[in-house]
Amino acid sequence: PETIYLKDYTPFGYKIESVHLTFRLHPTATRVISKIAFAPNPEATDKRFFLHGEELSLISARINGETITPRPVEGGLEADVPEVPFVWEAEVEISPETNTALEGLYMSSGMYCTQCEAEGFRKITYYPDRPDVMATFTVRIEGDQPVMLSNGNPLTAGEGFVEWHDPWPKPSYLFALVAGNLVNHPDRFTTQSGRDVELNIWVRPGDEGKCAFGMQALKDAMAWDEKTYGREYDLDIFNIVAVDDFNMGAMENKGLNVFNSSCVLASKETSTDANFERIEGIIAHEYFHNWTGNRITCRDWFQLCLKEGLTVYRDQMFSGDMRSHAVKRIEEVLQLRARQFREDNGPLAHPVRPESFVEINNFYTATVYEKGAEIIGMLRRLVGDEAYRKGCDLYFERHDGQAVTIEDWLKAFEDVTGRDLAQFKQWYSQAGTPRLKMSEEWNDGTLTLTFAQSTPPTPGQSEKKPQVIPIAVGLIGPNGDEVVPTTVLEMTEAEQSFTFDGLGARPVASVLRDFSAPVILDRAMDDDTRAFLLAHDTDPFQKWEMGRMLTKDMLVAMIADDAAPAETALDAIKTVLTDENLDPAFRALVLGLPSEDDLAQTIFDAGQTPDPAKIHAARKSLRHTLAIHLSDVFPTLGRQLETPVFVPDADGSGKRALRHALLALETLLDGGKAARALFARADNMSDQGASLQALLAAGLGQDEIKAFEKQWENDRLVMDKWFMMQVSFAAPDKAASTALALTQHPDFTIKNPNRFRAVFGALAGNHAGFHAADGKAYQLLATHLIQLDKINPQTTARMSGAFETWKRYDADRQGMIRTELERILATPDLSRDTTEMVTRILS
């Protein structure tokens, strides 16, 4: 397959003045008639008229009304065109029903829907399917579906047809069409300038009762973007549609967001607190794209982080404002370390702005999204809040209606602040997680902190340069009071020292507050100092981080030499846990132990080979010890944390998070009594799911699993949880057989990405089960990936990432994984997506 390079970018030879599309809907023979007004692009030198097109049957093509015969070429067609403006017309036929890849126009539960990002529009009609070609679209949909939607505002409707017009120029990846038997949850929003906007969430009949939360999240997001960024909505209508078969979470098509139903439908009976929080965040994320992605888009797909990193940063800030910044930040870091650090430290490491790709779908990664968001956070830290807002305003004003680059984004901040951001820009081009080694010196009232930065080599990048690292530091005096509040040190050299003088007594430094940069901090610190910061740090992230380091070190020692858990650490955790002045959600996070995958990486980084079985056993043993150590506080704490009325807000979900964490420990001691009682009386999915998980994690719960299935067999989203929980909590020697048995269940289908992920995402996430010494889980996953590749290459490629950490493990496991990866690669007609991923993982 061909590799595309950022350095080869050239503009398209033609601009588009307008696009008219007519769809005659039919499950296997939809006709798409296009009429596109092109004009030569004076900024382009390459005048080749090439239109992308894949899996299309061309019926006819015309230029200025004259029938022509275009030349078929790899990936599309070419034609000879006039050197003046002209009109291209084409009619093609496509088959939505047989489109199982879920890209282009496809059918899901009898509904027509589209997914065009990144390069799906070329499966709908011939078009310059690249983000820098922006145009206004008018769309006519002909069919007998009760509801037929497209982007923009409704124009006209009549018997068997509707027309939509989108006045805002957009690239083809933001095109959308939905048609089906849908019902809406309606509402309205008045923008700050007084524009009245009709809002709808469209769902399958029966799901109407699960829209209210999403609608409130949408209105909150609309108001937040006005208040925080001065950005207002710009059409008369905003539609959201829930679709069952969807490759990712949601899609920000202009005025017509399409959502994986799991990311929008919510009710207290069927959704957990985590689901509510995620839905709120994703609805906001897609809405925020209206400005960061749609009004201003990417020049080419290498600039993906321009819209994704920035929009993730915006949704993180929104969620922090809606809930708790402290808790959100810890959750973000947990996620970043689990997904992005893992990626950055393995064969799939790539820069936030990659320099080449084979299949762009493979670059919708944690690095582009989450590290991309961290870069925005660092930029804001460095320039300050006021300049950040001014830079954003300038960016919006300067580039509205354009397709731009990271350089354009950074230039707005350079112009506003007068700073040179050339070195900062390396965060976009240099892959890998920087290591920051810190040492300290105390001398007569002066504390000197010395940092040395280095980044290990990553694929294709052996040499690394020093980066700009904002290091937020505060100092805590020996009596526990903060003596120096948070100060941002700006590190630019490979090694650099910073001094704090005029100090009375030697303080303890709290370093990398709020996780001010996506780096790995290496700092020698004893357990007493950690316990001191855990008790006294004013920065919630660092406070949590100290607890995390205590438990991690304890676990690493238990794994290495069967050491007993350290009393200092257990007591420090208990003190935080019972501190009523602290937010229960925060206390729940302190109680959470590092994951087995995290421990495996830590052991590997320390130069040893992780043993998944030992890691699992040590973690299990620590959970048991913790349960005993905390058993005396279960009854009182449990009572304090009751939430008689279920409200999915920060307060309620925080209390439940802590109560559920305690319940999971209690279940290890009481034979499941408390968890069974909660399961029996639960009136919401948070309680029901948590009690069932507590039972399963303790090796119990088989009756409850049956009862759960009986209760929810007709609810596909809850059944995804049922599939997932059984594999996630299976004992290591049962994970593969449990997953295999579930694939035989009548409700298992490989065609639905949510269901496939429920079983196989859970298998890959069950660390000890996935890496069980018999290699059965590796084989099972590979076999199913080979099957899925024929149906849905995008999801197959994404899920092959389960193998990305293979080089951490012993020779036997590496050998077994290599065999499976080579078996996948040897599959005839393997997709470009999966070929690229597996090749990179093997390299």
Catalytic residues: 286
Piece in contact with ligand HT7 (CB under 6 A), picked from 244-252, 523-531, 646-654, 689-697: 244-252
> Which residue's CB is nearer to ligand HT7, number 256 or number 469?
256
Residue 690 tokens, joined = 């948590």
Report what 251 binds from ligand HT7, Zn ion, none; CB cut-off 5-8 Å by kind.
ligand HT7
The CA distance from 789 to 503, in Å, is: 63
Amino acid, single-letter form, for residue 515: F
- Beta strand residue intervals within 353-481, DSSP E: 356-357, 403-404, 435-443, 446-454, 469-476
> Which residue's CB is nearer to ligand HT7, number 370 or number 666?
370
Greatest Cα-to-Cα distance within the chain, rounded to the nearest angstrom: 88
Minimal distance, residue 102 CB to ligand HT7, in Å: 7
The CA distance from 149 to 241, in Å, is: 10
Piece in contact with ligand HT7 (CB under 6 A), picked from 50-58, 272-280, 281-289, 468-476: 281-289
The CA distance from 243 to 768, in Å, is: 34
Minimal distance, residue 312 CB to ligand HT7, in Å: 8
> Which residue's CB is nearer to Zn ion, number 173 or number 803?
173
> Which residue's CB is nearer to ligand HT7, number 117 or number 374?
117
> Which residue's CB is nearer to ligand HT7, number 253 or number 601?
253
Report what 117 binds from ligand HT7, Zn ion, none; CB cut-off 5-8 Å by kind.
ligand HT7
Among 15, 20, 185, 285, binds ligand HT7 (CB under 6 A): 285
> Which residue's CB is nearer to ligand HT7, number 308 or number 331?
308
> Which residue's CB is nearer to Zn ion, number 308 or number 514?
308
CB-based contact 293:252 (threshold 8 Å):
yes
Report what 349 binds from Zn ion, ligand HT7, none; CB cut-off 5-8 Å by kind.
none
Minimal distance, residue 338 CB to ligand HT7, in Å: 19
Show contacts with ligand HT7 in window 250-279 (CB under 6 A).
250-252
Among 117, 245, 280, 720, binds ligand HT7 (CB under 6 A): 117
Q: Is 164 in the site for ligand HT7 (CB under 6 A)?
A: no
Minimal distance, residue 301 CB to ligand HT7, in Å: 10
**Element at 835 (helix H, strand E):** helix 832-842
Q: Is 666 in the site for ligand HT7 (CB under 6 A)?
A: no
Q: Which residue is nearest to ligand HT7 (CB)?
A: 248
Minimal distance, residue 221 CB to ligand HT7, in Å: 13
Residues 6+ apart with CB under 8 A from 470: 378, 381, 382, 488, 489, 490, 491, 516, 517
- Beta strand residue intervals within 419-468, DSSP E: 435-443, 446-454
What radius of gyration, in Å, describes the C-alpha atoms of the chain?
27
How many positions of this chain bind Zn ion (CB under 5 A)? 2
Show contacts with Zn ion in window 301-320 (CB under 5 A).
308, 311
Partners of 802 in beta bridges: none
Show contacts with ligand HT7 in window 326-365 (CB under 6 A).
364
CB-based contact 620:612 (threshold 8 Å):
no
CB-based contact 265:242 (threshold 8 Å):
yes
Minimal distance, residue 64 CB to Zn ion, in Å: 39
Show contacts with ligand HT7 in window 550-579 (CB under 6 A).
none
Q: Is 286 in the site for ligand HT7 (CB under 6 A)?
A: yes
Report what 491 binds from ligand HT7, Zn ion, none; CB cut-off 5-8 Å by kind.
none
Minimal distance, residue 421 CB to ligand HT7, in Å: 25
How many positions of this chain bind ligand HT7 (CB under 6 A)? 13
> Which residue's CB is nearer to ligand HT7, number 361 or number 458?
361
Q: What is the three-state SS of 307-361?
A: HHHHHHHHHHHHHHHHCCHHHHHHHHHHHHHHHHHHHHCCCCCCCCCCCEECCHH
Q: Is 115 in the site for ligand HT7 (CB under 6 A)?
A: yes
What per-residue string of b and e applies to 244-276 under the rule 16 or more CB within 10 Å gives b?
bbbbbbbbbbbbbbbbbbbbbbbbbbbbbbebb
CB-based contact 720:749 (threshold 8 Å):
no
Residues 6+ apart with CB under 8 A from 706: none
CB-based contact 298:131 (threshold 8 Å):
yes
Residue reference for tokens 């937010």 = 583
Q: Is 248 in the site for ligand HT7 (CB under 6 A)?
A: yes
Q: DSSP letter at 748? A: -
Among 225, 277, 308, 611, binds ligand HT7 (CB under 6 A): 308
Task: Give residues in contact with ligand HT7 (CB under 6 A).
Answer: 115, 117-118, 247-248, 250-252, 285-286, 289, 308, 364
Task: Give residues in contact with Zn ion (CB under 5 A).
Answer: 308, 311
